[in-house]
Structure 1
Amino acid sequence: MTLDRPTEDGDTVIEIVTNVPVAVADAGAIADLYLERWTVEPLFQRLTTVLQCEVNTLGYPAAALFGFGVAVACGNVYAVVAAAARVAHPTAAPLSDYHIGLEIATILPGLDIAVPADTWDVIREWSAAQMAAWLIAVARRAKVARYRAAKRGPKKPKPRRTRFAAKKHVATARILKDIRT
């Protein structure tokens, strides 16, 4: 596949190896799908770190697939809650993934205890528009100051090298070789 502009390394052609027949997808379609991969991976990273959705599957494919399905469902819940908060508070500072995840993880068990299961039956019948309106109304009552993302402080300057300061790079193999001789 010939690129419109060169890569960082100066390559103008990318070779894609796949077993997908050309009748199903050409190189451009496959390359586009590969690029979309980079939008999904941050979601799974967030799920793993914030919602702790990584499951030890013990090598069972069915368990791995179930864990993947649960993670995707959690990702959808997370995205909907975050979107409702952004709509309800458009001028607020960015919200913390950690605090939103913590809120979801800690409030749900309390809801299971305090709210009878049949209370949710009415909500199951709602359309997407009704659900969105309700979520935004709930999000408007949230105290967003509790969920602000922490601001990163200034970066510390990189410490000066004292050992091997005259060399740009010191390979471990070279150090070990020097020690042996």
Structure 2
Amino acid sequence: MPLPFLTADREDRVLAAQSVTLAEADRDLWRRPYRPGPWRVGSGALLLLLSSYVLFSALIITLAGGLPSGAICAGFGVLLVVLAVRLLRCGVWVSSRGLRQVGLLRTATLRWSEVAAVRTVQRPVRWLGLPRTVQGQALVATVPSDSERALLTSHNPDFLSRPRAFDRAADVIESWAAESRTGG
């Protein structure tokens, strides 16, 4: 019986080798050049688990005769599902058209012509998006209109305790930016 958690490191190496070929594939499609991290996936799974309990509660409430209460409960369950899916889609996406930073409530898209530079810097970063800051790395995009915008950090839910994954993702995004600026 194969144990998939034992082959994760091998899959990371295969994905690293494929990152060059992915960049040469259909460049018009929006793609995230890295996999979501365990903190993000775990949070999404917990939200989906909570939503299943809420939706089951809505079913029981509705069958017991409380239609308005069941509808409110079902609406809350659907909201939790939408929140979980949105949480899993958060991150930086790239295509030949530009760079898209998807957040929980907002999405910002920059055309490659608007991005002056993309580079990795050492600076205090937020730990898991919380107000607490720690020393880490950040991938920043320099935009002439509003100076620097942090795209990824080494301590966000995708890269906490995964420094090689952060380095690989930063390299891929920097290469997309370099190719797009040179017209490649």
The two structures have a TM-score, normalised by structure 1, of 0.23
Q: Which has the higher strand share?
A: 2
Q: Which has the higher helix share?
A: 1
| Structure number with larger C-alpha Rg | 1
The two structures have a TM-score, normalised by structure 2, of 0.22
